[in-house]
């Protein structure tokens, strides 16, 4: 998820049972070059299994995340939430 008052760089938050982790998607010359994970102030970080699931999701869907970020924050288009109900692998 991302909050409606977000800022650059492109990033999303993974939340589970009161814990949270942030994933920054680094883009150089229009290409995703790196994904950096960091804790969120005031929140406990995701534990091992939820963290692994969040990391897998971000890697698998990074291009879609960037597209939705641009649509919402740059182009000011509405973006629909997406519920992922099956494993990525």
- Residue 1, pLDDT score: 83
Q: What is the pLDDT of residue 89?
A: 65
What does the pLDDT read at residue 15? Answer: 93
Mean pLDDT over 65-77 rounds to 93
Burial of 20 (0-12, 13-18, 19+ CB in 10 A): buried
For residue 27, what pLDDT is reported? 95
Q: Given this model, what pLDDT does residue 71 score?
A: 93
Query: Domain locations in the chain?
Result: 11-74
Q: pLDDT exceeding 70 applies to what percent of the chain?
A: 99
Residue 49 per-residue DSSP state: H
CA distance 34 to 76: 25
Distance CA 24, CA 20 (A): 13
Spatial distance between the Cα atoms of 53 and 84, rounded to a whole number of angstroms: 12
Q: Give the residue, 71 or 1, on which the prediction is more confident.
A: 71
């Amino acid at each position: 998820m991302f909050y409606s008052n977000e800022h650059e760089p492109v990033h999303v938050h993974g939340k589970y049972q009161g814990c949270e982790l942030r994933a920054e998607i680094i883009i150089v010359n229009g290409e995703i070059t790196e994904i950096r994970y960091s804790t969120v102030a005031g929140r406990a970080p995701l534990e091992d299994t939820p963290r692994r699931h969040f990391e897998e999701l971000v890697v698998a869907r990074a291009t879609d995340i960037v597209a939705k970020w641009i649509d919402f924050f740059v182009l000011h288009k509405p973006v629909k939430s997406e519920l992922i109900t099956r494993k990525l692998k």
